[in-house]
Chain A
Amino acid sequence: MSSKIRSKSAVVVVNMLKDMILHGKPFPMPPEFKEQVVPRISQLLENARKAKIPVVYVCDAHRQNDPEFTDFPAGAEHCVKGTGGEEIINEVKPQPSDHIVEKRRFSGFFGTDLDILLQELGVDTLIFAGRPTNVCVLYTVADAFQRGYSVVAVQDCLYSKTKEYHQSGLDAMFFARKITLDQFVREYGGGAVK
């Protein structure tokens, strides 16, 4: 389970969606996310593609009146399929070689074909970016760990609605190796990875 970073990896980027980032739904992201973290995520994805590391977008895509909107006080409508709010933001636009997995719950593995896709890609290590660190990212990382994937969190390519929630999400990932974007670039380079 140790994270051998040169084994066959994929980058999994969680919830980089218009409603969540541009429209503050279901909760606003702080300005430093868009100003600092999004450009780093964009760089991470570009480097991954250059290194032929598969990129998988995991994205909320809700039905109208999804019970998640009303189940708890913090809930609010967001990312309903067909509204445009469920689209990926332009700054990290997917390329034809990338993969997109739609989800309706917190975890990218819940009720989706994410595990099947990763098996088909022959991947054993997942490198995580996106938002929010302490909810959808955390529960996707935990599910990946439970399924036997080695999990890597790129700390400065993740964020939550506050710095504190971001940190507590990272702290909760005792099963993940934590690296920075710089480390990712050093270890993977932009060149070919076997």
Chain B
Amino acid sequence: MKQALLAIDLNKDHVYHNKPFNAERLRSKVLNLVSAVQYAREHEAPIVHVTCAHPPNDAIFAPELCEPHAIEGSKGAEIIDELKPGPEDYVVHKRRLSGFYGTDLDLYLRELGIERVLLIGGQTHTSVRYTAVDAYQLRYHPIILRDCVDSYAEEINDRTLGELFFCKISNLKEIG
């Protein structure tokens, strides 16, 4: 089955600067993220960074929703140094939760004939969850790598993974 790696919101604001959620738990998994990207390269699975790039006045920067983060063109919106995209990688900019909403992610995956997507990144309860459900609805078979995703709290991460019954939950060792 032809697969692609979706690396979700691994930008500097999300991972280094705790915006909009504390990312300490995800930072502790950076080595796993690097391994996942290596695995994808070795297996010729396209690597797609699906990452926030917001206009400064994006409507989602409402006080009750989230603080401004990953403004398009800013340092904070860049992919973290450890995972710096190579020329062969694809970067999809999103403004909402799902990597599929308002982006060409579906088009890109279709063009490549992708049938299965491996999801890594953060946070499990936000962009990972909503990208995974859209992947499922579009009939890509989503696999979430448990050792390569996280949320600000263990309980939130675990509870979310427990509800994603339409995904396969695996980890690097199992797929590698």
Chain A interfacial positions (CB closer than 8 Å to B)? 1-2, 67, 71-74, 105-107, 110-111, 134-135, 139, 142-143, 145-146, 148, 165, 168, 172, 174-175
Chain B interfacial positions (CB closer than 8 Å to A)? 59-60, 62, 64-65, 96-98, 101-102, 125, 129-130, 133-134, 136-137, 139, 159-160, 163, 165-166
- 16 CB < 8 A contacts A-B: A1-B65, A2-B62, A135-B163, A139-B133, A142-B98, A142-B130, A143-B98, A145-B96, A146-B97, A146-B98, A146-B102, A146-B130, A168-B159, A168-B163, A172-B125, A172-B129
A74 to B125 Cα, complex, angstroms: 21
Chain B residues with CB under 8 A of A2: 62, 64
B137 pairs with A107, CB closer than 8 A:
yes
Please list the 10 inter-chain residue pairs (A to B) with the smallest Cβ-Cβ separation, ordered nearest first. A146-B96, A105-B137, A1-B62, A146-B101, A74-B165, A110-B137, A72-B166, A1-B59, A72-B165, A139-B133
A175 pairs with B65, CB closer than 8 A:
yes
With A71-B136, A106-B136 given, name 12 new contacts (CB 8 A).
A1-B59, A2-B62, A72-B165, A72-B166, A107-B133, A107-B137, A142-B130, A143-B98, A168-B159, A168-B163, A172-B125, A172-B129
Chain A residues with CB under 8 A of B129: 172
Chain A residues with CB under 8 A of B133: 106-107, 139
Chain A residues with CB under 8 A of B137: 105-107, 110-111
A145 to B97 Cα, complex, angstroms: 9
A135 to B133 Cα, complex, angstroms: 10
Chain A residues with CB under 8 A of B165: 72-74
Chain A residues with CB under 8 A of B163: 134-135, 165, 168
Chain A residues with CB under 8 A of B134: 110
Q: What is the distance, in angstroms, from B144's C-beta to the closest C-beta of chain A? A: 13
Chain A residues with CB under 8 A of B98: 142-143, 146
Q: What is the distance, in angstroms, from A131's C-beta to the closest C-beta of chain B? A: 15
Chain B residues with CB under 8 A of A111: 137
A6 to B112 Cα, complex, angstroms: 47
A153 to B95 Cα, complex, angstroms: 23
**CB nearest to B95 among chain A residues:** A146
A143 to B97 Cα, complex, angstroms: 9
Chain B residues with CB under 8 A of A105: 137
B97 pairs with A142, CB closer than 8 A:
yes
Chain B residues with CB under 8 A of A67: 139
Known: A107-B137, A146-B97. A174 touches B159 (CB 8 A): no
B60 pairs with A1, CB closer than 8 A:
yes
A114 to B97 Cα, complex, angstroms: 19
**CB nearest to B156 among chain A residues:** A171
**CB nearest to A71 among chain B residues:** B166
A104 to B38 Cα, complex, angstroms: 37
**CB nearest to A110 among chain B residues:** B137
